Every structure is written in structure tokens, then in C-alpha cells.
Amino acid sequence: MKLLTATTLALATATGSAAFAEQHVMENEVTTSLDLQELQSELIRSRDITGSPIYSSAEAQGETWDSTTVYDTVGADWNQIGEIEDIVLDQSGEMRGIVAEVGGFLDIADKHVLISVDDVSLMAADEYAYVTRLTEEELEAQQDVDEGWWD
């Protein structure tokens, strides 16, 4: 009789715990999906940025630089100077910069350089791009960060 009572008690406890755990998981899933729906319009995937152009505003007259500004159009006196190859994060997941392909012609003699997040600003128009305050010449003078550099 003791064995039957102990087994029944254990089964009731396990069933109650499982039901509570299932309810808790379902509540978390609902909260997570609501959070994602709210954030969807604010999130940008890296694949939507890589391959996009990089513009230089260095030649623009009278513009002051603020890396937190998000532009919605390409400035009339900006020059396209390269292409975004990669996005660089630190170990905590914070964006630290972008790898840009600059210089060269038809992928011949081009260079991959790291541009600090302080030197780029997002342009969110029909497609994403970045603008930098640096000139193409300043970027070409930087250290090359090809695949071997990361190892």
C-alpha cells in the first residue's frame, strides 16, 4: 500500500510539474513571438547589407559628421567608393565596424579594409548602404584585412 501511495504521489507531482513547465514554455513562446513581431520593422539582417555600396561624404561641403545619423537618401555629392563585404562584431555581439572592398577595377587590385563603426553611418533607403566620412584614398592607405589577417 505504501508503494502504491508513493507511486501515485510521485506520478501526480511529475504530472503537475510537467503541466506547469508546459504552460510556462507556452507563455514564453507567446511573449517571444510578440516581441519579434514588434521588432521586425526595426531589425536588419546582415545579408541585406553585405554586397551593398559604400559612399564617401568626405567631398560634401558643409556636412558635419555624426555616425549615429541614419540617412534615407544618397547625398548629391557623395561618391560610391566600394562595397560592403562583411560586418564585424566583437565577442559580446556589438557591431565594431564593416569590412569594405575598395579600389581596384573588376575585383583586380582591390583591397579589403576595416572601417570602424565610428566612421560609418547607415543609409536605409530602398536598399541598405553605408556612408563614411573617409575618402577612398584614406581607405586604400589602411591595412588590408584579407582572410589571412583574421587567423
How many domains is the chain built from?
2
pLDDT at 113: 93
In a domain, 65, yes or no: yes
What average pLDDT does this structure show over 16-22?
A: 50
pLDDT at 49: 78
Same domain assignment for residues 90 and 126: yes
Q: What is the mean pLDDT of the chain?
A: 75
Same domain assignment for residues 64 and 132: yes
Q: Is 132 exposed, middle or buried (0-12, 13-18, 19+ CB in 10 A)?
A: buried
How far apart (Å, rounded) are the C-alpha atoms in residues 98 and 63?
22
In a domain, 138, yes or no: yes
**3-class SS of residue 117:** helix
In a domain, 119, yes or no: yes
Same domain assignment for residues 18 and 69: no
Q: φ, ψ for residue 30 (rounded to 5)?
A: -65, -45
Residues 80-137: pLDDT tens digits? 999 999 999 999 999 899 999 988 776 677 899 999 999 988 888 778 888 998 999 9
How far apart (Å, rounded) are the C-alpha atoms in residues 132 and 48?
18
Residue of higher predicted confidence among 31 and 67: 67
In a domain, 79, yes or no: yes
Residue pair 121/69 in contact by the 8 Å Cβ criterion: yes
In a domain, 18, yes or no: yes
Distant-in-sequence, close-in-space partners of 44: CB < 8 Å, separation ≥ 6: 124, 128
Residue pair 74/55 in contact by the 8 Å Cβ criterion: yes
- What's the Rg (C-alpha) of the chain? 26
Same domain assignment for residues 34 and 51: no
How far apart (Å, rounded) are the C-alpha atoms in residues 29 and 37?
12
Domain that includes residue 65, residue range: 46-146
Same domain assignment for residues 136 and 75: yes
Residues 23-59: pLDDT tens digits? 555 555 555 666 767 776 677 777 877 888 899 987 6
| CATH number of the domain to which 128 belongs | 2.30.30
Helices (H), the chain: 2-39, 136-140, 147-150
Same domain assignment for residues 91 and 108: yes
pLDDT at 114: 94
In a domain, 110, yes or no: yes
pLDDT at 10: 47
Residue of higher predicted confidence among 73 and 104: 73
Same domain assignment for residues 73 and 106: yes
pLDDT at 92: 93
Q: Which residue has the cell 566583437?
A: 90
pLDDT at 29: 58
